[in-house]
Amino acid sequence: MDNREVILDIQDLHARFHTHDGTVHAVNGITYQVHAGETLGIVGESGCGKSVSMLSVMDLLTKPPAEVQAEALLFKGRDLQKFSKSEMRKIRGSNMTMIFQDPMTSLNPVLTVGFQIKEPLKLHLGMSDQEATKRAAELLALVNIPEAESRLSDYPHQFSGGMRQRAMVAIALACNPTLLIADEPTTALDVTIQAQLVELVKEIQAKLGMALIWITHDLGVVAGIAERVIVMYAGYVVEDSKVDELYANPLHPYTMALLKSLPRIDQQADEGLSTIEGLPPSLLDCPQCCPFEPRCEYAKPKCKEMNPLLEEVGPGHKIACWVDIKTGELR
Amino acid sequence: MTTNNSMVRVENLVKHFPISQGVIFQRQVGAVKAVDNISFDIKEGETLGLVGESGCGKSTTGRTILQLHEPTDGKVYFENKDLTTMGESNLRKLRRDMQIIFQDPYASLNPRMTIGDIIREPLDIHKIGTSKERLERVQELLNLVRLNPFFIKRYPHEFSGGQRQRIGVARALALNPRFIVCDEPISALDVSVQAQVVNLLEELQEKFELTYLFIAHDLSMVRHISNRIAVMYLGKLVELADKEELFYNKMHPYSIALLSAVPIPDPIKERQRKRIILEGDVPSPANPPSGCHFHTRCPIAKERCKIEDPPFEEKEPGHWVACHFSKTAQEQMI
């Protein structure tokens, strides 16, 4: 059990998109909590709903076509669903901030980097331009950009990919957030630059103590940064566990197969990689069976009939699966 | 099944892309030195992994070997035949033996052609077989890459990324090549699908005795698939060695840092690892640093590195390194 204060409490969150081809069920009832100062990793393949769930929480989806439903979306005990647009705007970018995947497109190309860092400072903290400029330079220095003061007047295209992403981190940190959501921040970066950014965010988190949600498809990055990991598949949370436990003792067949299919830089390759046959299901039809059933090597008839719910099977270790993979029998 | 005969030999290969200025009277004001004087060979039956960060010239190297880019200088030999001086028609004949699989399965298949036509196109161009034989060959190829031949009349958009990449593989195999450049064939795919494509490539290599140049930035996957690995930085080769030699006896500071930056999917190991974080970014290849290209980010750089470009030398049998201070690197960085 985690005794820290619950910062974000998501209860039964659904997100759908109404399109010409039908309704896309992107997120299908997920529930989890994030505690103060915790680092939560969310892992999954493209289209598993990891980004959409966060965008729903931040209220950043265009509705329609999107539709978001939840039993509760509590941020520090207050239900975000009951917030008005202006209230939402107040906490978004100040208490709860987000870094996006693509640093090339998430910064405005016609505004200077300095302007974009100063914007939340002036808007949320009511700083004067002078104060904001001073603080912005400090923030850029905090994210290890050399000659921070003079770089404030640069435009995003004058920054390299890694620097742009660091500028994004500076914007996200401007108002000392309680929760920072990083949506695949290193996917577009090279490994040496990725290592720089991961190290930087870890350092800053240790200094400022905010909670961090790190979304990625890279199980390696998560192993290095997260305390707890959530694995998503086809819009469901399939496993939720402490990081050491998850890697040492994965209990959901999908997590296990995913870990086995990864080549590892620290191991000699002797035989072929194990694969997960088939493809993730289309999110257009939302079947009642377990979404992983068609690709699962442990599948039982029951898996076709009912979708398993996320249940605690060990201390702090939850999975959504009917089967005990150790025995291969139903639990 | 590696033999010691080299199939492809690259000697002092240079590829510069001109930077021009002016609209009507264009003049060259500089050059992007994408590939800057590199030499290596690829042995028959092996997989040579070529790794490096984006913009280091690894894809350009692959394409220049196949003469898809005309080299600025240097020689490329395919089975002792010089490709750089060969006439267009001879080269075209040789292209049957040398194929490429591209990175982006969404951009490398013509959306207006059915997949049957896409895979048959090489056969049409080289006028191989009758139209019935070509159809049979296409079906055979689809089976080979584990796609249902029933899909022959479908268009690329009807397939997923992994399936599209397999169509790309089938097209590359159509002419029974012996050498294939795999240009980041899996980097656009999801983790669970990457393993499928890599296993397929390995299986085909064994079956048809193929030789691969496997270009990638994912070092874990390169370690899995390659026999030897070449590391590239800013247009130059910095290290080339047998796979296990490179992992256990790496000598170049860049290789050491690069390998330490690759995340391992194991939280306990991740915490214990010594990670070398390189400062700054890769400099622009239009204006590379003097001397050793890596000296601006190298943690052990000395005065000499700024002036003198280190030669690419065989420091141990089969282990090539371009560094003045590789001993120091091993002592201080590992």
Segment B292-301 shows an average pLDDT of 90
pLDDT tens string A42-64: 998 888 888 888 888 888 888 88
Distance from CA of B85 to the nearest CA of A (A): 36
Question: Cα(B96)–Cα(B128) distance, rounded to whole angstroms?
Answer: 11
CA dihedral of residues B289, B67, B225, B247 (deg, nearest 10): -30
Please judge whether B261 and A268 are an interchain contact, meaning their C-beta atoms are less than 8 angstroms apart.
no
- Inform me whether the pLDDT recorded for A1 exceeds 70: no
pLDDT at A189 over 80: no
The mean pLDDT value for B184-198 works out to: 83
Partner-chain contact A192 B160, CB within 8 Å: no
Q: Tens digits of per-residue pLDDT, A230-266?
A: 999 988 899 999 998 888 888 999 998 888 888 887 7
In angstroms, rounded to a whole number, what is the distance separating the alpha carbons of residues B218 and A191? 8
* pLDDT reported for residue B98: 92
In order of B66, B67, B195, B215, the CA distances from B84 in angstroms are 10, 7, 36, 22
User: Which residues between 23 and 52 in chain B have a beta carbon less than 8 angstroms from any beta carbon of chain A?
Assistant: none
Cross-strand partners of A212: A39, A180
Quick check: B4 pLDDT over 70? no
Task: Check if A192 contacts B (Cβ < 8 Å).
Answer: yes
Determine contact, residues A127/A104, Cβ cutoff 8 Å: no
Comparing CB atoms, the residue among B223, B257, B263 nearest residue A218 is: B263
The label of the residue with tokens 């002797």 reads A270
- pTM of the entire predicted model: 0.84
Contact (CB, 8 A) for B152 and B138: yes
Can you give the pLDDT at residue B230? Answer: 94
Q: d(Cα B167, Cα A284) in Å, to the nearest integer?
A: 25
Q: How many CB pairs (< 8 A) connect A and B? A: 130
- Burial (CB count within 10 angstroms: exposed 0-12, middle 13-18, buried 19+), residue B235: buried
Angle at B73 between CA B71 and CA B76, to 5 degrees: 65
Band (A286; pLDDT cuts 50, 70, 90): low
Most B CBs within 10 Å: which of A216, A268, A275, as the mutation test of the B interface? A275
Mean pLDDT across chain A, nearest whole number? 85
When pLDDT is cut at 50, 70 and 90, the band that residue A269 belongs to is low
pLDDT digits (tens, 9 = 90+) for B73-116: 999 999 888 998 888 888 888 888 999 998 888 888 999 999 99
Contact between A274 and A257 under an 8 Å Cβ cutoff? The reply is yes
Chain B residues close to A280, C-beta within 8 Å: 190, 192
3-class DSSP assignment, residue A20? coil
**Band of the pLDDT at B205, cuts 50, 70, 90?**
very high
pLDDT above 90 for B181 = yes
**β A6-19/A22-35 pair status:** antiparallel
Interface test with A, best of B146, B192, B194 (most A CBs within 10 A): B192
Q: What is the mean pLDDT of residues A154-175?
A: 85
Q: Which residue of chain A is at minimal alpha-carbon distance from B254? A: A192
Please name the residue of chain B whose CA is at the shortest distance from the CA of residue A266: B264
> Residue A44, SS3?
coil
Number of helices and strands in chain B (H, E): 12, 12
* Contact across the interface for A199 and B221, Cβ inside 8 Å: no
Vertex B122: Cα angle to B117 and B127 (nearest 5): 105
Residue B1 has pLDDT above 60, yes or no: no
> Are the beta carbons of A243 and B267 separated by less than 8 Å?
yes
Of A103-112, A285-294, B126-135, the range with the lowest mean pLDDT is A285-294
